[in-house]
């Protein structure tokens, strides 16, 4: 199995908390789509004809693309790759882009999963962070999606936000749970150095929440979603049974994936690659130049592969397999791992069930810290 990620870097506006690569050069979309189609054709050997079980359009704002533009990209994928008949095909959408006609177009194109960027259910907070939709548009989008033929809906939420109390967060969740939502990605507000939010805080225009508020709101989301039938399968991701994201799981299970588009990353079990971050250069290199000079590359040694396995699996409900480490890595690595697991276990961390080390609920919150003891 393998995954395919298509990065659509265009945004009509830039959210103040965002540091993802995106631009507002909407006039370049058509040329960019042509370049993406060419890269898809050029890089088909990267995942060695493995079956594609997840295709994910992320951004940026993929829902800015027209039906014809999305069709061109999907046609090139289905023509050149071995796509599973049950492939999960996801598109990230903003509420203001949702309409009944657009949902019908997506369904006809074989999209079967929508990731809706709700973020906050408070108009003044949406405006403060430069989101261009309102609560009314959010609920209008949810109603349209729930009445469409696409039944797999994921939403993105951001918590621990200045101006949003724990009580308001509970109220928001109670409103959202009335809809047929299959998956929730809930992220604590991150102050990224390249974002406008970072500079707003530096200037004193906003005050960052204290850690206690983060813990309170994390607990609210965690407890509420679990009580309403969601399973926390990763630190920030919750899904109903049978609706975990294949796209997410491919990252955490170290399944090969190919990233297409400007700034996209790829992984094939031996190396990581990353495309450069200039839209015009990307288009020029592919349409009028040498498409093979698009990316940087890093070959991974045994220690790096082990460290990635540890840090990724420690964030999930699947945990870490003792036997996997023993079989796939040098004996010295296994000895190091086992010794440090025993030390942490004596301090009350981890649940060990047979061959598997499973992080407890409290371990998930400090998984990056615990991983430092197990990594090389």
pLDDT at 92: 97
Determine the pLDDT at residue 59: 87
252: pLDDT confidence band, cut at 50, 70 and 90? confident
Contact 36, 73 (CB under 8 A): yes
Instruction: Return all residues near 292 (Cβ < 8 A) that are at least 6 apart.
Output: 42
Strand partners for 238: 184, 232
H-run or E-run covering 116 = strand 113-119
Tell me: pLDDT of 123 over 80.
no
138-153: average pLDDT: 96
Read off the pLDDT of each residue in 323-348 and give the average, rounded to a whole number.
96
Q: According to DSSP H, which parts of the chain are helical?
A: 29-42, 67-80, 100-108, 123-128, 135-146, 166-176, 196-202, 211-227, 246-252, 279-288, 302-313, 322-328, 331-346, 361-365, 367-374
pLDDT: which is higher, 71 or 126? 71
Name the token pair of 283: 């288009």
Name which residue leads in pLDDT, 79 or 195: 79
> Residue 169: its pLDDT value, please?
93
Query: Is 118 within 8 Å of 157 (Cβ atoms)?
Result: yes
User: How high is the pLDDT of residue 193?
Assistant: 62
pLDDT tens-digit readout, 193-232: 665 555 455 555 555 656 788 899 999 999 999 999 999 9
Mean pLDDT value across residues 144-161: 95
Do β-strands 237-239 and 231-234 pair in parallel, antiparallel, or remain unpaired?
antiparallel
Contacts for 227 with CB less than 8 Å, ≥ 6 apart = none
Is the predicted pLDDT of residue 17 greater than 60, yes or no?
A: no
Backbone angles phi, psi at 92, to 5 degrees: -80, 135
**Cα–Cα distance, 40 to 26 (Å, whole number):** 21
Q: Within 10 A of 352 (CB to CB), how many other CB atoms are there?
A: 14
Q: Are the beta carbons of 355 and 318 closer than 8 angstroms?
A: no
Three-state DSSP class for residue 113: strand
Residues 269, 275, 280: CA angle, nearest 5 degrees = 165
Summarize pLDDT for 225-248 with one digit per residue, the tens: 999 999 999 999 999 999 999 999
């Amino acid at each position: 199995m393998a995954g395919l990620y298509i990065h659509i870097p265009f945004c009509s506006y830039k959210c103040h908390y965002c540091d993802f690569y995106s631009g507002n050069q909407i006039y370049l979309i058509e040329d960019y789509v042509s370049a993406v189609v060419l890269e898809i054709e050029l890089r088909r050997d990267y995942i060695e004809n493995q079956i594609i079980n997840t295709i994910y359009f992320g951004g940026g704002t993929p829902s800015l693309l027209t039906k014809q533009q999305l069709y061109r990209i999907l046609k090139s994928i289905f023509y050149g790759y071995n796509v599973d008949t049950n492939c999960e095909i996801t598109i990230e959408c903003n509420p203001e882009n949702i309409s009944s006609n657009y949902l019908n177009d997506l369904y006809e194109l074989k999209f079967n999963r929508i990731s809706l960027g709700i973020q906050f259910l408070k108009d003044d907070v949406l405006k403060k962070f430069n989101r261009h939709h309102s609560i009314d548009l959010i609920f209008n989008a949810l109603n349209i999606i729930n009445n469409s033929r696409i039944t797999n809906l994921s939403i993105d939420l951001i918590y621990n936000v200045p101006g949003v109390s724990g009580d308001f967060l509970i109220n928001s969740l109670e409103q959202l749970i009335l809809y047929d939502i299959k998956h929730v990605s809930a992220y604590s507000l991150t102050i990224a150095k390249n974002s406008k939010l970072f500079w707003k805080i530096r200037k004193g225009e906003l005050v960052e929440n204290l850690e206690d508020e983060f813990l309170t709101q994390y607990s609210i989301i965690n407890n509420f979603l679990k009580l309403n039938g969601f399973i926390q399968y990763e630190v920030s991701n919750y899904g109903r049974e049978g609706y975990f994201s294949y796209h997410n799981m491919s990252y955490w299970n170290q399944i090969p994936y190919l990233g297409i588009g400007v700034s996209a990353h790829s992984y094939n079990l031996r190396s990581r690659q990353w495309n450069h971050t200039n839209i015009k250069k990307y288009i020029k290199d592919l349409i009028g130049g040498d498409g093979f000079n698009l990316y940087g590359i890093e070959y991974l040694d045994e220690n790096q592969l082990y460290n990635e396995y540890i840090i990724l699996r420690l964030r999930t409900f699947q945990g870490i397999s003792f036997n996997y480490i023993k079989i796939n890595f040098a004996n010295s690595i296994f000895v190091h791992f086992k010794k440090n697991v025993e030390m942490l276990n004596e301090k009350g961390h981890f649940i060990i069930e047979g061959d598997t080390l499973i992080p407890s609920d409290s371990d998930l919150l400090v998984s990056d810290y615990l991983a430092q003891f197990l990594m090389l």
